[in-house]
A = this chain, B = another copy of it.
Amino acid sequence: MERMIEKEQERSGGSKKTPWPRYEAAALGFRNYWYPALLSRRLGRKPVSLRMLGEDLVFFRYEGKVYALQDLCPHRGMPLSQGKCEFPGTPTISCCYHGWTFDITNGQLVAAITDGPDSPLIGKVQVHSYPVEERKGVIWVYIGNGEPVPLEEDVPEVFLQPDTVVASRITVRKGNWRLAAENGLDPVHATYLHRTAWVSFLLSFPAWRGRVVPDIDGRWVGYKDDLVWECEYPGLGRFPRSRRWWKRIPFGAGDTIVVHLRLPGFLRVTNWPRLETDHYEWYEPIDEHQYRYFQFKVRRTSGLGALWFRIEYQLLWRWLADKQFNDQDKWVIALMEPFYAERAGWNKERLFRQDVVLTTWRKFASENARAVQDRCTS
């Protein structure tokens, strides 16, 4: 373990004395975890290729079940996703170049079309096969080697139960995933950055948060604080300038929102964007400079309630919360990216007392992550 950490530290580029060495090395995220990949309805008969944590994967659906392979023929490096099923009715994909044919259920080479039926390759070549599960309309994949942990270890219970509804939005964003994860957990940016979001017309965010104290609850990193609703800055003025009377009605429930972040990098926001609905978001590295952003709204309901929730989501929260509100985060993360990617922001940043939640997360992740994703895995 010590040697592995040292090797990971070397990859981080030599900033040897950081208090969170494995976190700083994790530009491509953490390995040996289950990640969401895509929505069930996006995967039909055509294979879907995705880059995740710097690796190329291809997803197949065969007789209803989902499979994932490394999207790289070992022969000459062609993407398998460019191939086709040459033998209809079999769970196989044939590489477009020389017809190397793999069993999509386990990655084993079962034929090499241009090498005849007696090909000595058979049984000797395989591509990595990723464990896959499909739940609540989401396809999950285990990025790691060896036996995967149970899905239940990494995916919150609500995604696995029958009586919950999950509404989702997936986008690709610029910036390293850690900047997005830290932004999600950050207790105080909402106060200022999101003051102009449309939902903030009704919803109150505190003027600032006093005594912010990190709070690690099992696998979740969160915080406790004292909300201060109005504030006078001497010589400058009030912030917010005026607190509308209707915001004093406990309607928006700004003080019921609770935020927690968890490995390998996903957030739970309780009671967001409204009471009795929780929000989950995953920051999934595509490469060092892009991440796939999963937004899930989850409610425990079914039947007509579920239908109503889906309508409410499509009409309201998808646009007000997932898009307009969170696009403000998208904006700042893209603006931060050059500072951390080109100008050694990890060493140059000047954190303040409210950032103790972020540094707690960094240390927690550095110490508890199962493995750091290497830049040269595939």
Interface residues of A (CB under 8 A from B): 72, 74-79, 82, 86-90, 92, 94, 96-99, 101, 110-117, 119-121, 125, 188-189, 191-193, 207-210, 228, 231-237, 239, 332, 335-336, 338-340, 343, 345, 348-354, 378
Contact = CB atoms under 8 A, between A and B. Distances in A.
Nearest to A378: B343
Contacts of A75: 349-352
B192 A94 contact: yes
B76 A345 contact: yes
A89 B378 CA distance: 57
B77 A114 contact: no
A159 to B, nearest CB: 31
29 contacts: A74-B349, A75-B350, A77-B343, A77-B345, A78-B336, A86-B239, A87-B236, A87-B237, A89-B237, A90-B235, A90-B237, A96-B192, A96-B332, A97-B189, A97-B192, A97-B336, A98-B192, A101-B236, A110-B235, A111-B236, A113-B191, A113-B207, A113-B208, A114-B188, A114-B191, A114-B208, A116-B207, A116-B210, A117-B233
Contacts of A350: 74-75, 125
A352 B112 contact: yes
A87 B188 contact: no
A158 to B, nearest CB: 31
Nearest to A186: B98
B193 A98 contact: yes
Q: Tell me how many chains of this kind the complex includes.
A: 3
A335 B235 contact: no
Contacts of A332: 78, 96-97
A276 to B, nearest CB: 28
Given A87-B236, A228-B116, A236-B111, A77 B352 contact: no
Contacts of A378: 343
Contacts of A209: 114
Nearest to A120: B353
A128 to B, nearest CB: 13
A234 B117 CA distance: 7
A75 to B, nearest CB: 6
A335 B82 contact: yes
A314 to B, nearest CB: 30
B113 A233 contact: yes
A345 B234 CA distance: 58
Contacts of A335: 78-79, 82
B231 A117 contact: yes
Scoring A76, A112, A234 by chain B CB atoms within 10 A of each residue's CB, the highest score goes to: A76
Nearest to A238: B87
Contacts of A110: 235-236
A75 B193 CA distance: 14
Contacts of A117: 231-234
CB-based closest 4 A-B pairs: A77-B339, A114-B188, A99-B192, A74-B350
A208 B209 CA distance: 72
A77 B348 contact: yes
Contacts of A237: 86-90
A87 B92 CA distance: 65
Contacts of A115: 188, 208, 352-354
A90 B236 contact: yes
Contacts of A351: 75
Contacts of A89: 237
Given A237-B87, A336-B78, A116 B349 contact: no
